[in-house]
Structure 1
């Protein structure tokens, strides 16, 4: 049996609510914890909650200039302050200086990023890739201890792509994506689930820090392979909507020949791929501007090696 991989214990953990200013579960959880951080406290590490996109939260919009959660790339983080730059570029540099810098030895050990989606994603765990050892062990722990709902794992990083999300400024990270929830609305059931997921994840860090060996395991996860745009008229306007038979079917198999869109006059458009895929973020409200009707995922099983603190 292979010896466990070893990682230093975690000492500093951050939690971002409001990376998008209209995703309300994380915003109100972070505001609650800023008033009373008691439930975040564990004996072996500190947890720092913060609000991500302050101006967007004030206006209850996703962002004011550009998507903050796509702004943590080398290009933006290394840019020189400019008078006409979007607010989020300066905010990304501030967050990077406070909780990073990204890829540095002094960066926070871990960051959680709290999101809601209008899509029927349930309680989804988002990791950059299967090679992120600590987050994958955390996901496995959550899946085996949070029994209220399935917790599918979404691996968002495409081959050759740089990590761009807010939690990438820390040494490791995990995003929680809960839905469906309308933008600008807080739902008590999803708020409670997000709170419970956070408690479970923090318990995992505490166990890891205290020396628990995390055994090797195999785990199922959904890895992004591409994105599907809406059909469009020549002028760029969308010409069809998500088909009723696809709506709300996140993480369920979509086979070649299955309907995916319905034109405004009622015709069906079928999926023409050559293999079964597993769509997610189906009909996400925030993705219309990104020209994404859904993300195309493949379902795979990964072998994750054992892990222990140094």
Structure 2
């Protein structure tokens, strides 16, 4: 694969509080603002508390999920007095950090999230973004903790619904397990170390270093499974089985137990081999998702470098 070059990555946004009760990003952004971290070497850094109203009341969102408000169709739709708070905020963030798909958009956006699932640290992206994938590869090779994984959602960029899609290059940094409304030192330190490594990589990239290509492993989402439900009341009738709980990214085979009914026998998995993730994520109960499934893929990265003037 030939070497690919990109313009300098001189404008970076670090965002937190897109979900107001996911506290690592909230505190990372607050601390960066206190320390007036607005430039690292030749990189201009913008720190953004994405949904301050939700942060103030420690809620995921005020009216609707902000991290579902960024597909092109919603960003181009006119706002009205009755538009949800988060939709109005999405338009503000798009103006500040984008506009999405435009030459004015920030070069790189990292949006920090927490999950109650036992997922460690994950880079989540929509497309084969060579910048995001090289950053993942670099962080994976340098961290003092582990594991670090990559998750790909196979969604066209125009339909990509989360905040990082506004930037030229972007990813969500999903870290857990951490309860909502809580900050944990170990999770916080994992994120700050990751951000330090990202800034280190950016300095090297902008200075002309060539980053060699290679193979990276990622998990591509294939489907979502809901909890068993009562057909009359729609209430959940089972919990995640103890053998699956906290086993994100462990290979799931047909016949493995996945749900523990409140009455009756264990429900077993009937599909093809897959890797579960976001297992028993608190915020996904309202979305009727018990966990996502993924298949493991290998991605061949080209070598990359900065474009010379």
After superposition, the CA RMSD in angstroms is: 1.3
Indicate whether 1:113 and 2:107 are aligned: no
C-alpha spacing 1:106/1:158, structure 2 compared with 1 (3 Å): closer
Q: Say if 1:119 and 1:83 are closer, same or farther in 2 by CA, change over 3 A.
A: same
> Shift of the alpha carbon at 1:23?
0.2
Q: Distance in 1 between matches of 2:158 and 2:226?
A: 20
Q: Distance in 1 between matches of 2:178 and 2:13?
A: 24
Q: Indicate yes or no: 2:277 matched with 1:276.
A: no
Q: Output one character per residue of 1:242-295: Cα deviation in whole Å (capped at 9) or x when no partner.
A: 10000000011000110000111142000000x210000000000000000001
- Supply the distance in 2 between the matched residues of 1:103 and 1:48 (Cα, whole angstroms): 19
C-alpha separation in 1, matches of 2:286 and 2:242: 21
Distance change >3 Å, CA 299–CA 307, structure 1 → 2:
same
Counterpart position of 2:207: 210
Could you say which residue in structure 1 is the equivalent of 2:149? Answer: 152
Structure 2 residue aligned with 1:141: 138
**Which one is further off, 53-62 or 147-156?**
147-156
CA distance in 2, matches of 1:160, 1:224: 16
Contact 1:72 1:92 in 2 (8 A): yes
Q: 1:287 and 2:284 equivalent?
A: yes
Tell me the residue number matched to 2:63: 65
Q: What's the secondary structure of 1:308's corresponding residue?
A: strand
Matches for 1:51-130 after TM superposition, within 5 Å: 51-129=49-127
- 8 Å Cα contact 1:157-1:163 kept in structure 2: no
Please show how residues 1-310 of structure 1 align to structure 2 within 5 Å.
2-38=1-37, 41-129=39-127, 131-158=128-155, 162-234=159-231, 235-273=233-271, 275-310=272-307
Q: Deviations over 1:204-245 (max 9, x none)?
A: 111111111111100111010111111111121111111000
Shift of 1:37: 3.2
Query: Unpaired segments of 5 or more residues in structure 1?
Result: none
Find the aligned partners of 2:175 and 2:153 in 1 and give their Cα distance: 16
Per-residue deviation, 1:127: 1.6
Q: Check whether the contact 1:253–1:279 (CA below 8 A) recurs between aligned residues.
A: yes
Structure 2-normalised TM-score? Answer: 0.96
CA contact (8 A) 2:72 2:158 kept: no
CA, structure 1 residues 290+161, in 2 after alignment: closer, same or farther (shift >3 Å)?
A: farther
Pair 104,219 (structure 1): closer, same or farther in 2 beyond 3 Å: same
